């Protein structure tokens, strides 16, 4: 073994570092109030489902009565949601469900297009090389047919759920952990924004899904990539068009 003798100054510095104590002012880490977090998650789930729509006024008293709690944890929950961009707190007016701007939609869906088009390409490529199990391909087609059945129901929540499920399966199909992790970072935002056009887009969306699923199962990588990119782009355009009707916030009005 090669022995390396450290200069006395370096050795002294290392010894000093190892013997040092944590600063006395370092505070104890405390867990977040579970009630506050639970309330925030409950409110967010209703935002994601569309039951609490863009711009809706969230009155603390009404929320407290509905949830069976006091106003304090509700106020704390709303502050948590504001930090995450789900709620806007306006001084003198209260809390409102955040209305996304066209810029926000553009940014999220532009990233989504890149990630999911690549996921579809990789999934089809792996299917072509026999690296996707029959069970996983069967799961993909099963979710597609479940979603197709929900389209005729006209129930937005169910359509949104099946849409999210299908895209989630496609993203995870290649087994690319980094890609799946990056897609997961914007998954909730995509689900939330898509809810605004779920009913309107559903028939065309599932026709597009049919072509995407077919391309993946048949192992046509470049076709799967193109179809998924076009599919995501149509959803983005559909959402941005809502800004013309005032449904989304104009970028100039942000803040």
Q: Give the pLDDT score at 6.
A: 47
Q: What is the pTM (predicted TM-score) of this model?
A: 0.78
Q: What confidence category does residue 140 fall into, taking pLDDT thresholds of 50, 70 and 90?
A: very high
Q: How far apart are CA 238 and CA 62, in angstroms?
A: 33
Give me the numbers of helices (H) and strands (E) for the chain, helices first please: 10, 3
Structure tokens at 103: 């810029």
Token look-up 């002294």 returns 12
How would you label 122-141 residue by residue, b for 16+ Cβ within 10 Å and e otherwise? bbbbbbbeeebeeeebeebe
Percent of the chain past pLDDT 90, that is, above it, reads 67
The answer to whether residue 201 scores a pLDDT higher than 80 is yes
The answer to whether residue 192 scores a pLDDT higher than 70 is yes
Q: Give the pLDDT score at 187.
A: 93
Enumerate domains of the chain plus CATH numbers: 34-97 (1.10.10.10), 102-251 (1.20.120.530)
Mean pLDDT of the region 34-48: 93
Helix or strand holding residue 90 (H, E)? strand 87-90
Mean pLDDT of the region 56-77: 94
Structure tokens at 115: 């990630």
The answer to whether residue 98 scores a pLDDT higher than 60 is yes
Q: What confidence category does residue 93 fall into, taking pLDDT thresholds of 50, 70 and 90?
A: very high
Q: Give the pLDDT score at 59.
A: 95
Structure tokens at 57: 């006024």
Q: Give the pLDDT score at 14.
A: 46
Q: What confidence category does residue 1 fall into, taking pLDDT thresholds of 50, 70 and 90?
A: very low
pLDDT, tens digit, 9 for 90 and up, residues 144-157: 999 999 998 888 88
Mean pLDDT of the chain: 86
**Mean pLDDT lowest among 13-22, 34-43, 174-183, 220-229:** 13-22
Q: What confidence category does residue 51 fall into, taking pLDDT thresholds of 50, 70 and 90?
A: confident
Name the maximum alpha-carbon separation found in the chain: 78
Mean pLDDT of the region 210-228: 98
């Amino acid at each position: 073994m090669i022995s390396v003798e450290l200069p006395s100054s370096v050795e002294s510095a290392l010894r000093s570092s190892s013997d040092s104590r944590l600063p006395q002012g370092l505070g104890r880490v405390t867990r977040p109030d579970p009630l506050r977090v639970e309330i925030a998650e409950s409110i967010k789930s209703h935002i994601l489902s569309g039951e609490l729509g863009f711009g809706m006024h969230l009155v603390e008293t009404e929320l407290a009565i509905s949830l069976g709690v006091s106003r304090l944890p509700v106020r704390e929950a709303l502050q948590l949601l504001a930090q995450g961009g789900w709620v806007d707190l306006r001084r003198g007016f209260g809390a409102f469900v955040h209305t996304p701007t066209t810029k926000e939609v553009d940014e999220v869906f532009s990233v989504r297009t890149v990630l999911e088009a690549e996921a579809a390409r990789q999934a089809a490529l792996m299917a072509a090389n026999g690296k996707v199990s029959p069970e996983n391909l069967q799961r993909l087609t099963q979710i597609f047919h479940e979603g197709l059945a929900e389209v005729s129901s006209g129930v937005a929540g169910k359509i949104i759920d099946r849409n999210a499920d299908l895209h989630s399966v496609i993203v995870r199909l290649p087994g690319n952990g980094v890609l799946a992790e990056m897609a997961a970072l914007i998954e909730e935002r995509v689900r939330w924004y898509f809810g605004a056009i779920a009913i309107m887009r559903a028939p065309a969306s599932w026709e597009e899904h049919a072509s995407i699923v077919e391309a993946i199962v048949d192992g046509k990588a470049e076709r799967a990539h193109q179809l998924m990119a076009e599919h995501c782009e149509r959803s983005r355009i559909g959402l941005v068009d809502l800004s013309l009707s005032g449904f989304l916030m104009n970028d100039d009005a942000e803040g």
